[in-house]
Chain A
Amino acid sequence: MTPTVWTGQYYDGRSAARHDVTVTFEEQYACVRPAHGDPFPIPVASLRLTAGLLETEPVTWEIGSGPARLVIADRAVLAEAPPVLSRALKAERAPLPALLGLSGAVAAAILAFLWFLPALAEKGAGFIPWSWEERLGATASALEFGKLDICEDAALRGVLDAAVNRLAPRSPYPIRVRLVSSPMVNAFALPGGEIFIFAGLWNRIRTPEELAALLSHEIQHVERRHATKAIARELSTSALIGLAVGDATAARSVMETMGTLRALRYRRDDEEDADRRGLEAMMQAGIHPRGMVELFENLQQVAQDMPEGLVYVSTHPSTAARAALIRRESARFAGAGEPLVSERMWREARAACR
């Protein structure tokens, strides 16, 4: 069989001269015959397909490292020339397996950022000695809350101490509750056992059981180390963000938003945890859990009454899920419950810090 003769153009890469040529292919060589001049061979191994896989392109090979080239308009040549000539060289293509592997690794790193690292940091926080937590809380207390106006009253102290003794008799933390003379409706627990109740919330509390419910919830935040763990999670990821993207970039704010969303999810879990264990602690102390139900309803009312300054309500939203949990758990309590303190003590304490 005689080989097909193809017509095409040859450009030598030294000048822009166009040479009309005929080409025949053998196993190892393309034999090029210019219209004027002597024929010459081009090794097949030095031809690299750069165009011609699409119907609208003439078949084009670069010769060596270019830019010399051989062009044949008839695409049938791809079927007849040595097969190696119809494949584009790998060097021209993207290193796809490596890229895909790399993206997988990056995706895994993002997963690590979102779940694994905070979980690890949280586990680590579980091993922080209590004394460190106390010192952390004391530092925060001194720095941020040293300026707070604390209301001291013997009757109030008696009620608060009684509640703490009943609710957390064997706590490893020195639980200390203080009342802040401020109209804010708020309460929070610092790592290490420091609990602050603001007068705005204190004035809303109607019964000793509601107070017990509030304290029981906050004591669980302390004992379950919710604040410490949240700090560990945030520090671990903000350190990672800092390492990854440095300062003042859009990427940073995007990642921090993701971090905040994640923090919200954790906080909701922590609140449910505090609700459930707080109720448990109340029932074990023999305090009627309806205090928790009442407190919850009370706070719902507060949310409706005054839309501003509701710090506690905004960090403890009255979701249907929380309400259902509290009602369900408290329904298990059978007895009548022992009062937290005597009527007289409660009245005296209520009069304090008005």
Chain B
Amino acid sequence: MLFFLPGENLRMAIFTGNARDLFRIQLANFLLTVATLGVYSFWGRTRVRQYLYSHLELDGDRFQYHGTGGELLLGFVKMVAAVVLAFAGATGLRLLIGGALGEVAYTLSIYFAFALLVPVAMLGSRRYRYSRTSLRGVRFGLYATLREFFPFYLKHLFLLVITLGFYTPVFQVELERFLIQRTRYGDEPFHFDGTGSDLFSGFILNAILFWPTLTLSRFWWEARKRNYIWTHTTFQGVRFRPSLDGPSLLVLTFLNVVLTVFTLGLLTPWIKVRAMHYYAENILLAGDLDLNLIAQGSNTANATGDALSSLLDLGGDLGL
């Protein structure tokens, strides 16, 4: 549903891709992935992203995805090395300490290592994807380092634990604030002006309805949260105007799961295209952008976090 308010200049991105072309790409990916024992999947994922980005149009310009399969493969190798190192370190600790205490140390250090990998994945995947996305020849970027993200993440994780989870909405909003404030298109930053307490009632409502609705209430909560975050995001003073709704997110997720499970993912292009249309039509820009004066930014990022997040499945966004 779209709300066109009088006197407001609403802009919408248009998705021009179709499921048939995406299906051909995914079919080729599937066959090559099988023939190369899975290694091709990095190039396959890249091709899908290229297709989806290059068919998303804003004001007559297409987005572009610059990532390569080789980068994803390298990221994956680094990630595997990190996991192996973590296990090796933990095993060393177990042998060094020995006995029942050694077992405890082993388990704790594994949990600890994975707790550290989550923020690496969170930051890394966004940083990589933004740095590989451009519009009108100018790249996006997330200008944040692990050095500043780690203390931030650990502090909020601590608050989350000691408040027994009631801090969740604030945590999620603060996380977005951290990431969005450091996101730029060229040299122009995005801004965020939300506060976590605004989401508290929605969070409590979801907590109450979660089990009685067989967890389905989370889709309404998700829609509300995303709408809130988009609404409070601005670029050049122009605000986003989202209208995501629970039932649509529920249907998109449900169909995606069904198609992935029952067709080995081969028929997911239909749902991916539908999702692209849905997001494009339901996240609008309220106002005019002036992109002409925006200069190229400078940023570099590698793909380790991207590989990690796909392993830990933090993406959760229909693989877009």
Contact = CB atoms under 8 A, between A and B. Distances in A.
Interface of A: 9, 11-18, 50-51, 54, 56-58, 60, 66-69, 71, 91-94, 96, 99-100, 102-103, 106-107, 246-248
B68 A11 contact: no
A51 B49 CA distance: 12
Given A17-B293, A51-B64, 11 more contacts: A16-B292, A51-B50, A57-B55, A66-B66, A67-B137, A94-B40, A96-B32, A100-B36, A102-B36, A102-B39, A246-B84
Nearest to B59: A18
Contact of B54 (A60, A68, A246): A60
Interface string B71-113: 0000000000000100110010000000000000000000000
Contacts of B294: 15-16
Given A60-B54, A67-B296, A100-B36, A16 B186 contact: yes
B62 A58 contact: yes
B87 A11 contact: no
B16 interface: yes
Contact of B91 (A18, A106, A247): A247
Interface in B23-67: 32, 35-37, 39-40, 42-43, 50-51, 54-55, 61-62, 64, 66
Contacts of A56: 16-18, 21, 55
A51 B62 contact: yes
Contact of B292 (A15, A54, A68, A248): A15
Nearest to B41: A94
Contacts of A16: 135-138, 185-186, 291-295
B139 interface: yes
A51 B135 contact: no
17 contacts: A11-B137, A14-B296, A15-B296, A16-B292, A16-B293, A17-B136, A51-B62, A54-B21, A56-B18, A58-B62, A60-B54, A67-B137, A67-B296, A71-B62, A92-B68, A96-B40, A107-B37
A63 to B, nearest CB: 9
Contacts, number: 101
Chain B: interface secondary structure?
A: mixed
Contacts of B32: 94, 96
A30 to B, nearest CB: 16
B256 interface: no
Contacts of A9: 61
Interface of B: 16-18, 21, 32, 35-37, 39-40, 42-43, 50-51, 54-55, 61-62, 64, 66, 68-69, 84, 87-88, 91, 134-139, 185-186, 291-296
A18 B66 contact: no
Contacts of B55: 56-57
Contacts of A51: 50, 54, 62, 64
Given A67-B66, A94-B40, A100-B36, A18 B87 contact: no
A51 B54 CA distance: 7
Nearest to B293: A15
Given A56-B17, A69-B137, A94-B69, A15 B295 contact: yes
A13 B16 CA distance: 24
B134 A67 contact: yes
A88 to B, nearest CB: 10
Nearest to B44: A94
A69 B134 CA distance: 11
Given A16-B138, A16-B292, A17-B292, A50 B39 contact: no
A246 to B, nearest CB: 7
Nearest to A55: B21
B139 A18 contact: no
Contacts of B88: 246
B203 to A, nearest CB: 35
A67 B138 contact: yes
B238 to A, nearest CB: 14
Given A15-B138, A103-B36, A94 B87 contact: no
A66 B186 CA distance: 14
A352 B138 CA distance: 94
A248 B138 CA distance: 46
Nearest to A92: B68
B294 to A, nearest CB: 4
Given A15-B294, A18-B136, A93-B43, A103 B87 contact: no
B273 to A, nearest CB: 11
B55 to A, nearest CB: 6
Contacts of A69: 64, 137
Contacts of B69: 94
Contact of B64 (A12, A17, A60, A107): A60
Most buried by B among A15, A91, A100: A15
Contacts of A14: 295-296
A16 B138 CA distance: 6
B39 to A, nearest CB: 5
Contacts of A15: 138, 186, 292-296
Contacts of B295: 14-16
Contacts of A71: 62
Contacts of A248: 87
Nearest to B134: A67
Contact of A247 (B68, B87, B136, B185): B87
Contacts of A99: 36, 39-40
